[in-house]
Each structure stands twice: as C-alpha cells, then as structure tokens.
Chains A and B, each alone.
Chain A
Amino acid sequence: MIEFKDVSLVYPNGTQGLKNINLNIKQGEFVVIVGLSGAGKSTLIRSVNRMVTPTGGELLVDNENILPYKNKKLRELRTKVGMIFQNYNLVKRSTVMKNVIAGRLGHTGTLKSVLNLYSNEDKALAYHNLQRVNISEKVHSRADELSGGQQQRVSIARVLTQQPKVILADEPVASLDPPTSHQVMTYLRKVNKEDNITTIVNLHFIDMAMEYADRIIGMRAGEVVFDGPASTVNESTFEEIYGRKIREEDMVGGEDDEGNA
C-alpha cells in the first residue's frame, strides 16, 4: 500500500535526508522505525504525507505516485494519511471536542467548517473516538487543562476522526513518562488491529519497538540499514543499527499497566 522506490531527499542546504530508500509497507502493518536522532526517521515518515517532499524516486500510496501532488490532491492525500506528533500539536485554547472535530476538516467544505456546521454523524464519530481512547469525560475541557498523556490520546482521537488509511506517528511518546508511553502505544496498537489502519511509528526506545512492532526498520544516516519482523530482532541488531553499544537511555523501561491489546 505504501511503496518507496529509490526515494532520496536532499534539503536545500545540501543535507542528504534520505538516500535511495526502497520499502514496501502492506495494508494493516504496524511498522516501527528506529534510529538515532538525525538518522532520517522523521524525514521518511513526513514524506508519506508530503510534509516534506523527496527530491528523487517515486513514492506510491495506494498505487499512485504522490510526489507530484499539489493543492487539492495533496489535501486529499493528507485526509487519507493521518499524523500524530511528539508535542501533540493540539490548539491549546480550544476545547477537546473542537480539536477532535478538526480531524474532519479535510472532509468538510471550507464554509461549513468555518461556521462550525458539522453533521451529527461527524460529531458522533468524534465523540466515539474520544470514548475509544478513554477520554470522553474531558470532551468540553480546554486542551491545555490536560496532561501530556491525555493530550496525546486526544490527538489519537483527532487522527481517528479523520478516518485515515494510514497513521504516521512521529516520536509519539518522546515527551511522556514510561507508564504513559506504554498506554499511548497500546492505544495505537489497538486501533491498528481493530481498524486495520497501516501504522508507521518513529521511536528511539528499542524495548518499545520490540514490544509493539510487527516489523522494524532501522535507519542510519538517511539509509535503511535493517528491515525485518520484530520477532527476529535482538539487542545486537540494534547495536548494528545504532552503530554503537546499547545504553540505558535507549530503553524506556516501565511496565505496560493496561496489558497488551
């Protein structure tokens, strides 16, 4: 469903972000990309919804090359490919509900969305998604009243409300403590399995990658240096990917307090 064909990206300042990436990600896969910071994980993920634009190769989503997309086509792509961010990226002064309904923006006409004219189905969908991540009691709270883990759950509800085929998560737990991190990963894993949404997550914690991923892709200096099922991965694989010994800071530790979904 997502296919990288010899994709490269050179930033305007000459930095090579991606080097000849070839990958094929299947519908419903839960892929975790690992690598040190600066390895190109973010660039890779952001290429899929064109928040950055690769400078070479082809990138197919649903068998269509997305690299030439502009304006309307681009917005359609982004409606299909949802994204979760390290800093949650909620509008802090708006209510939880308003943040979640923003997931419908790509599906809603400009005038209707500006005037807040959402159908009951849209509102019901937004509320249902808040229930799925167990935060529906905060529906009318302002986003800045929520803790980090709660905000990330709201951002998962927002991305679900978009009804995407793909979810990209760029370091979704890097700002959270270990128990909350496990909680957020558990929810991501849950919606991946229940809705069969292809999910690509950037992580730098190796124990988390091994615990949640179907498939692990290792990156170093803009290149894919490992690609295989999570079951075949062990610490020495990570030492190869990272190009150094594994340290304590590469582990998130902590117990998954809600159990695996």
Chain B
Amino acid sequence: MKGTPSPQQGTFTPNNPPGLRAQQAKWKLTFVFAVVVLVYMFTSWQTNSSLINLWNGLPDVWRMVGELFPPNWGYATETWGRLSETIQMAIIATTVAGILCIPISLMASSNIAPNKWIYNITKQIMNILRTIPDLLLAVIFVGIFGIGAFSGIMALIIFSLGILAKLLAETIEAIDKNPLEAIRASGGNTLQVIVYGVMPQILPQYTSFTLYVFEINVRASLVLGFVGAGGIGQLLQRSISFFQYGRAMMIIIIIFVAVVIIEYISGKIREEIM
C-alpha cells in the first residue's frame, strides 16, 4: 500500500522501470494511510484505551471464565419457562409483522403503489423506523407498557416490520410486470392484480424473509430481556447482576443450543422453498 518516492517518471528504462502504480497514486495512498493512522492514534488517546488495557485485564478475563465454569446444570430446568417465553415472543412478533408488512410493502413499491405520495411517505416512514435500534425500542416500550413480555413483543414487531417491509418491497419491485398487465387487461382491479399477479410471484421470498426475521427476533429478544422486556434475557441479566456466574453460563449454553437449532431448522426450510 505504502508508496515510496522514486526517480522522476516519464522516461522508463530497464534501470528505471515503471512501478505498479502511477507516482501520483502512490502519493495519494501514502497520504490516506497516514491520515488513517493519525485518526486511530487520536481516538485511542481520547478514549484512554489501548492494547495495554487488554493485557492488564487478562487476569480478570481468566477469573471470569473460571467462575463461569462449571455451569450450574441443575438450574437448567428453571429456565425452560423463560426460554419458551422468548420463543413465543418471537413467534407473535414475527407473525404480526409478517401480516402488517404485506400492505405496507405494497405501498412502498414503486410499481404497485397507487401514487407517488403514498410510495414516498411509506418508504420514508419505514426508513426512519429502521434507524431505531431494537434496544432503544424496547426501552421506549418498557417505559410505556411496563416491564414484561408485551413491551418486548411490541419492540420486536416494530423492529421486524422495518426489515420485512424493506426486503419485501424490493422483491415486489423486481417482479415480472407482464402478468400484472395481463390481469389488468382482463378487467381485474388493483386488489385482484395483487392477489393473482403479485402474491404468487413473491410467496417464496416472503416465506424465506419471514423465517429469517424469526431467527433475528429470537436473538434480539435475548438482548431485550436486559432492559426488562421479558424472555430469557431477563434471567441472564439477573444472574449476572447477582454474580451467579454458574447460572449465567447455563443460560448462555441453553440460548446457544436453542439458537443453533432454530437457525438450522429455518435454514433447511428456506433452502427447500427457494
């Protein structure tokens, strides 16, 4: 990457062959490289963090790992309730978002939306929704509805709606528009065009996206538990704050196994339908 100055170019001889890049490009790269290094040094100094901290913290890392093991195996049975709550939250949120995203994504597709206004407004609202992190949504809903799974479900619905509507709108914009023309030409109205022309074309992608969002929701609902939005995350947060690391490790193992199983199943289904 680094460029070094070499004798004036223009006259390339066997003793002065051309480099891999033009001289000007070399200087540019050198400059960019220097700026990047300076930015790193500045940020490290400003945040008071360096690799030395990592080195100094190593003993604590080992201590923590030591306390995590052995996991508290007996605790496993007490976590089932919360684990199923997590999965139930994901199921409800994905289903609601999956239904709501259909009309929204149709309005956010340039080829189906009834007019430019609806298209732009829907699209912008979805863009704004997507910029809100799921954790922030959970904090907001816990503030509104109080601690518990309902707040978590609300947060997940909004969060997955943003993702699903965007993915689906892009799929709708890419469909073959010829069949839609045929249905319109045979006297079909907008709703009939959607049901007979659009839906069959997007069904495989729709199913796949919904399963994918379900996976994301299972993982997201773990984190949401940390701010009191229900699910097994809440249990994990409690164990850690009470320094019950054996229990925490047990929960982590259970979450890991559950997520792997869910992703495997949903991955297999998605492979089949695509």
Contacts and interface: CB of A to CB of B under 8 A. Distances in A.
Interface of A: 49, 51, 75-79, 82-83, 85, 87, 89-94, 98, 102-103, 105-107, 110, 113-114, 155, 158-159, 162
Taking residues whose C-beta sits less than 8 angstroms from the other chain, chain B's interface range is 20 to 34
Given A51-B181, A89-B178, A91-B196, A110 B186 contact: no
Interface of B: 176, 178-179, 181-189, 191-192, 195-197, 200-201, 203-204
A155 to B, nearest CB: 7
Contacts of A79: 186-187
A85 B184 CA distance: 13
A110 B196 contact: no
B204 to A, nearest CB: 8
17 contacts: A51-B185, A77-B187, A78-B185, A79-B186, A79-B187, A82-B185, A82-B186, A85-B182, A91-B179, A91-B196, A91-B201, A92-B179, A102-B186, A105-B192, A110-B189, A114-B195, A158-B182
A76 B191 contact: no
Contact of B192 (A94, A114, A162): A114
A211 B159 CA distance: 63
Contact of A92 (B176, B187, B192): B176
Nearest to A81: B185
A199 to B, nearest CB: 15
Contacts, number: 77
Nearest to B201: A93
B112 to A, nearest CB: 15
Interface of A is mostly: helix
Q: Which of B182, B183, B201, B203 has the most CB of A within 10 A?
A: B182
Contact of A49 (B179, B185, B201): B185
A158 B166 CA distance: 34
A77 B185 CA distance: 9
A98 B176 CA distance: 17
A53 to B, nearest CB: 14
Contacts of B203: 93
A91 B193 CA distance: 11
The 6 closest A-B pairs by CB, nearest first: A106-B187, A79-B187, A89-B182, A78-B187, A105-B188, A89-B178
B181 A113 contact: no
Given A51-B181, A105-B196, A114-B195, A162 B176 contact: no
A105 B187 contact: yes
Given A85-B178, A113-B195, A78 B200 contact: no
Contacts of B192: 105, 110, 113-114
Contacts of A89: 178-179, 181-182
Nearest to B180: A89
A221 B96 CA distance: 55
Given A85-B178, A90-B179, A78 B184 contact: yes
Given A93-B204, A162-B187, 19 more contacts: A49-B185, A51-B185, A75-B188, A78-B184, A78-B185, A78-B187, A79-B187, A83-B182, A89-B181, A89-B182, A90-B179, A90-B182, A91-B196, A98-B196, A103-B186, A106-B186, A106-B188, A107-B187, A158-B186
A7 B178 CA distance: 26
A87 B186 CA distance: 16
Contacts of B183: 102, 105
B8 to A, nearest CB: 54
Contacts of A98: 196, 200
A94 B200 contact: yes
A75 B189 contact: yes
Nearest to B195: A114
Contacts of B179: 89-92
A93 B187 contact: no
Contacts of B185: 49, 51, 78, 82-83
A51 B187 CA distance: 11
B234 to A, nearest CB: 42
Given A110-B191, A113-B195, A155 B201 contact: no
A190 B197 CA distance: 29
A102 B181 contact: no
A159 B186 contact: yes
A107 B186 CA distance: 10
Contacts of A51: 181, 184-185
Nearest to A162: B186
Contacts of A105: 183, 186-188, 192, 196
